[in-house]
Amino acid sequence: MNIRFITRNEIDKIKWNSCIHYATNGNIYGYMWYLDHIAKDWDALIEGDYESVFPLIWREDFFKRKELYQPKLIREAGIYSIHLLSEKRIRHFLQAIPEEYRKVDIHLNEQNRPGSNLPYSVEEQTNYQLLLNKPYEELTDQFSRPLMSQLQTAEDEGIVLTSSIKPEQLADFYSKYSKKADSQQYHGLQRIMYNILHRGWGFASVAMAPDTEILAVNFFIYSHKKILSLVPVSSPRGEKLGALPYLINGIIRSHANKSIILDFNESGEQLAIEFGAQPNAFYRLQANKRLLGMW
């Protein structure tokens, strides 16, 4: 199996993005433009003529040593391939990670289940997804009673759903109310939203009170037969009024009876369960080859 390491600047953009597009496990996080906007530094492992690719997202620690890490706004990456991702292929890629990355803490996608006898610890992570290929009335049969009560409260309060919000406004709201937000993520989020809107691959969604106060926001991305929930967040008032569940319910209603999956993207596990979403595993891979913090 011909796997080679190349730097970001050496990558053939067209071939890379083509692999991500046609990969059996492609997702939005693998495209070069997405990686460039969120990951400051990254290189890659390539199989053959871009039949399989593996972005290696890295940063330098305090001592200027390179380590692989998982940036915010990229839930998972790992190996993307137009071939069957067998245990053998995954093992060869993991063994090809250069020794210069002495510390590894990354998330592999759902088809990258690591095998045994590798110098890494593997921890299964859980995401939730909901297949929307049924009429809305049938999908609501899976909703929990507390969720139905929240949706009724939001409706009684006259909450309105709209997409009329600029990326800057959405990023401001997210930064203000999300516990996950940081300054680096703030700028990356805006760049991602503008790129998605330019490509026509997604849209913003806002839950607004009758007095026009914004109660909850999210941004949704279409990719690989899924609609990804990117940054769901609500204000304290929005939480009391069930604004975010109402917003997500609006997405489910408008996409019901379509062969598409709503990807909750690790956001609000309990809420995803209440909507009837099913668990979907991906994998955290860790290794620290340093000895007492030294090379």
The strand pairing partners of 129, in sequence order, are: 263, 278
The strand pairing partners of 268, in sequence order, are: none
Helix, strand or coil, per DSSP, at residue 174:
helix
- Provide the total of helices (H) and of strands (E) in the chain, helices listed first: 10, 14
Beta-carbon contacts of 7 under 8 Å, excluding residues fewer than 6 positions away, are: 43, 44
Q: Write down the pTM of the prediction.
A: 0.94
Burial readout 138-171 (b: 16 or more C-beta within 10 A, e: otherwise):
ebbeebeeebeebbebbeebebebeeebebeebb
- CATH 3.40.630.30-classified regions of the chain: 128-280
Phi, psi of 5 (to 5 degrees): -95, 135
Q: Specify whether domain 128-280 bears CATH 3.30.70.1520.
A: no
At 195, list the tokens: 């790129």
Walk along the chain (295 residues) and give the pLDDT tens digit of each residue: 899 999 999 999 999 999 999 999 999 999 999 999 999 899 999 999 999 999 999 999 888 899 999 999 999 999 999 998 999 999 999 999 999 998 999 999 999 999 888 889 999 999 999 999 999 999 999 999 999 999 999 999 999 999 999 999 999 999 999 987 777 778 899 999 999 999 999 999 999 999 999 999 999 999 999 999 999 999 999 999 999 999 999 999 999 999 999 999 987 799 999 999 999 999 999 998 754 444 4
> What CATH number does domain 3-119 carry, 3.30.420, 3.40.630, 3.30.450, 2.60.120?
3.40.630
Amino acid identity, residue 199? R
